[in-house]
């Protein structure tokens, strides 16, 4: 659950606070997972340093993809990030060093629950500090009205790239924690469906609300286990349940479980 919380709050920074729809967040998680794992297995890097290394590599890719794509808006940005995610997935599937479709096995189990939640607390604390600063207020200004933000002297392109880089860094950290907890990684673990799952967390909890993202992550994490306890067959259709849950939320509570009402009003106006 702690790993999903990190993923949810980091995507919330990009999509919830800055208003940029990203459909490749799991890709940055995968980049962090592979980079940190290879740093340990191939370079002999210490665990803590490998986690930071993986997060930095993910942030670098976030910058590389962010510079050309974040000048796009709305559906065009979503399609561009989706394309990047599929490209990276196919690269990981065909590289020998990543184990190809077989993935990487025999990863040392260093991550434990304490480390996961310690990192989650650090991520949440740092995000709260960012959002209470001038940088965070600039993110929100871009989300509310990008043209007005530009008129106020905010360099919207640079701030959108910064949000993408920060979100990618935290996703890469989550990927490293994941790799050293489950001891096996495969490109399919970080595909489009995982990105949709992360997006579901923040939509369910409430866009633009850190605690809502945490609640959404908790629900989406527990739901598959609950469905599995009911019936193994039903658990195979968890994405159907996610979709039904999101549709119900859009109708009954558009702002999410903990979201702000003004977010719901913005969605209604956009529609």
Tell me the pLDDT tens digit for each residue of 130-169: 999 999 999 999 999 989 999 999 999 899 999 999 999 9
pTM for this entry: 0.91
How many CB atoms within 10 Å of residue 119? 22
| pLDDT reported for residue 236 | 73
| pLDDT reported for residue 37 | 97
Could you tell me if 260 and 209 are in contact, meaning their C-beta atoms sit under 8 angstroms apart?
yes
Please report which confidence band the pLDDT of residue 225 belongs to, taking 50, 70 and 90 as the band edges.
confident
What are residue 104's phi and psi, to 5 degrees? Answer: -115, 125
3-state secondary structure at position 258: coil
Q: Considering the chain, what is the average pLDDT of its residues?
A: 89
Q: Running DSSP on this structure, what letter comes out for residue 190?
A: G
Is the Cα dihedral 182, 171, 210, 70 positive or negative? negative
Q: What is the mean predicted confidence (pLDDT) over 193-219?
A: 92
210 or 232, which is more confident: 210
Distance between CA 205 and CA 1 in Å, rounded? Answer: 14
| pLDDT reported for residue 270 | 45
Please report which confidence band the pLDDT of residue 271 belongs to, taking 50, 70 and 90 as the band edges.
very low
| pLDDT reported for residue 7 | 98
- Say whether pLDDT at 235 is over 50: yes
Please report which confidence band the pLDDT of residue 231 belongs to, taking 50, 70 and 90 as the band edges.
confident
Distance between CA 164 and CA 67 in Å, rounded? Answer: 10
Task: Return the percentage of the chain with pLDDT > 90, whole number.
Answer: 70
Distance between CA 224 and CA 33 in Å, rounded? Answer: 23
Q: Using one digit for the tens of pLDDT, what is the confidence trace for 101-115?
A: 999 998 999 999 999
Q: Using one digit for the tens of pLDDT, what is the confidence trace for 56-91?
A: 999 999 999 888 877 787 788 889 999 999 999 999
Please report which confidence band the pLDDT of residue 266 belongs to, taking 50, 70 and 90 as the band edges.
low
How many CB atoms within 10 Å of residue 200? 22
- Say whether pLDDT at 226 is over 90: no
Please report which confidence band the pLDDT of residue 229 belongs to, taking 50, 70 and 90 as the band edges.
confident
Distance between CA 197 and CA 134 in Å, rounded? Answer: 31
- Say whether pLDDT at 265 is over 70: no
| pLDDT reported for residue 124 | 97
3-state secondary structure at position 104: strand
Could you tell me if 17 and 135 are in contact, meaning their C-beta atoms sit under 8 angstroms apart?
no
Sequence-separated (6 or more) residues with CB below 8 Å from residue 63: 161, 164, 165, 168
Distance between CA 23 and CA 26 in Å, rounded? Answer: 8
């Amino acid at each position: 659950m702690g790993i999903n919380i990190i993923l949810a709050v980091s995507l919330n920074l990009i999509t919830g606070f800055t208003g940029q729809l990203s459909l490749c967040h799991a890709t940055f998680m995968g980049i962090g997972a592979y980079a940190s794992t290879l740093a340990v297995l191939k370079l002999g890097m210490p665990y803590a340093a490998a986690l930071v290394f993986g997060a930095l590599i993910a942030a670098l890719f976030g910058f590389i993809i962010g510079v050309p794509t974040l000048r796009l808006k709305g559906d065009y940005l979503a399609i561009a990030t989706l394309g990047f995610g599929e490209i990276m997935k196919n690269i990981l599937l065909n590289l020998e060093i990543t184990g190809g479709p077989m993935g990487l096995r025999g990863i040392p189990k260093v991550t434990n629950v304490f480390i996961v939640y310690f990192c989650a607390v650090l991520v949440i604390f740092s995000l709260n500090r960012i959002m209470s600063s001038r940088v965070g207020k600039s993110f929100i200004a871009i989300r509310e009205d990008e043209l007005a933000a530009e008129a106020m002297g905010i360099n919207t392109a640079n701030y959108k790239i910064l949000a993408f880089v920060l979100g990618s860094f935290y996703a890469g950290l989550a990927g490293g924690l994941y790799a050293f907890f489950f001891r096996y990684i495969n490109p399919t673990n970080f595909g489009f469906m995982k990105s949709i799952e992360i997006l579901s967390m923040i939509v369910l909890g409430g866009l633009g609300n850190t605690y809502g993202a945490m609640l959404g992550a908790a629900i989406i994490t527990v739901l598959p286990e609950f469905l599995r306890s009911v019936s193994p067959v039903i658990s195979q259709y968890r994405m159907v349940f996610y979709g039904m849950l999101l549709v119900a939320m859009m109708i009954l509570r558009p702002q999410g479980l903990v979201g702000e009402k003004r977010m719901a009003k913005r969605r209604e106006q956009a529609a």
